[in-house]
């Protein structure tokens, strides 16, 4: 039995586990963590989520996290996941309302105020504007920035009918971003303080209802092109609005924050049969785990 919270940040949903006492490793035994993540994140068959977060001990900060996409891949950062992790840590008395925590992308600062969490991301890197990218027989004008994880941004006035899945998937696996790939964001600028974003997420391998680092990337690219000014409201597919703040000087962007609501959906315990049966059955048959 593994205790967990199910949470969502603006439509991105996650399973969160307090793993400071290594409950996951103790429970899993020979089952690889990757198989566990993929089992638990499967919708209908298990809890279902866009990702899974393990909260672990840190010598310097409130906690250290490990973040896994639904496909089992472990990545550096997830903005909405980070907001969920911060509220989880506050509710579990792991941290106070103001905290910092370790990620593979660097140290993240967070502030919790009721169900609203404000997160400071690491400074963006590798900004690239006006990249002509051949996609499915046409050339798209794209832009790139790393906001903890890589993001491509493409602006369109026809966002509602845009083929986010197929175009996003083509960009995600494009040879220009091989071998790790990238996330893909499609953006409509509504006015100087508001944009709308749809995102195809690497690791989820589909469009998600929201992406925190993608929302920030979209704002920063729009700002670099002179289309918006801080703070910027970001409308995401869940219908919620994220707010992004940033500072900018001749050296680039810094002090990048974004905030929005975080919801606890439920808490419970994961039974062994939810993750062990399929993995062990496949292993016994000499088959790889298949999501």
**Residues labelled as active-site residues:** 78, 211
Q: Which residues contact 29 (CB under 8 A, 6 or more apart)?
A: none
Coil, helix or strand for 68? strand
Spatial distance between the Cα atoms of 192 and 130, rounded to a whole number of angstroms? 20
Q: Largest alpha-carbon pair distance within the chain?
A: 60
Coil, helix or strand for 58? coil
DSSP 121: P
Coil, helix or strand for 274? helix
Torsion, Cα of 189, 176, 169, 224 (10° steps): -10
Spatial distance between the Cα atoms of 212 and 218, rounded to a whole number of angstroms? 10
Spatial distance between the Cα atoms of 4 and 97, rounded to a whole number of angstroms? 21
Torsion, Cα of 15, 17, 23, 24 (10° steps): 30
Distances (CA, A) of 172 to 72, 150, 165, 176, 180: 17, 10, 10, 10, 9
Query: Which tokens in the block code for residue 173?
Result: 């696996």
């Amino acid at each position: 039995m593994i205790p967990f919270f199910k949470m969502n940040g603006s439509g991105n949903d996650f399973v969160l586990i307090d793993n400071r006492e290594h409950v996951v490793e103790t429970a899993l035994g020979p089952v690889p963590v990757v198989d566990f993540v993929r089992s638990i994140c499967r919708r209908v068959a298990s809890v279902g989520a866009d990702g899974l977060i393990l909260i672990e001990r840190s010598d310097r900060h409130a906690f250290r996290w490990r973040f896994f996409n639904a496909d089992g891949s472990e990545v550096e950062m997830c903005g909405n996941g980070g907001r969920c992790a911060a509220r989880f840590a506050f509710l579990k008395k792991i941290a106070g309302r103001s905290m910092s925590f370790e990620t593979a992308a660097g140290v993240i600062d967070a502030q919790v105020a009721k169900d609203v969490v404000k997160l400071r991301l690491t400074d963006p890197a590798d900004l690239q504007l006006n990249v002509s990218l051949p996609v499915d027989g046409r050339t798209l004008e794209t832009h790139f920035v790393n906001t903890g994880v890589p993001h491509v941004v493409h602006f369109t006035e026809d966002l509602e009918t845009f083929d986010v899945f197929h175009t996003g998937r083509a960009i995600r696996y494009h040879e220009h971003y091989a071998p790790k790939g990238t996330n893909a964001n499609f953006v409509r600028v509504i006015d100087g303080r508001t944009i709308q974003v749809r995102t195809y997420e690497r690791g989820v391998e589909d469009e998600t209802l929201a992406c925190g680092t993608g929302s920030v990337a979209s704002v920063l690219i729009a700002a670099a092109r002179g289309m918006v000014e801080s703070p910027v409201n970001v409308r995401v597919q869940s219908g919620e609005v994220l707010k992004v703040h940033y500072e900018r000087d001749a050296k680039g962007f810094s002090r990048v924050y974004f905030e929005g609501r975080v919801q606890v959906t439920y808490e419970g315990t994961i039974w062994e049969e939810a993750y062990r049966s399929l993995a062990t059955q496949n292993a016994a048959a000499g088959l790889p785990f298949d999501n």
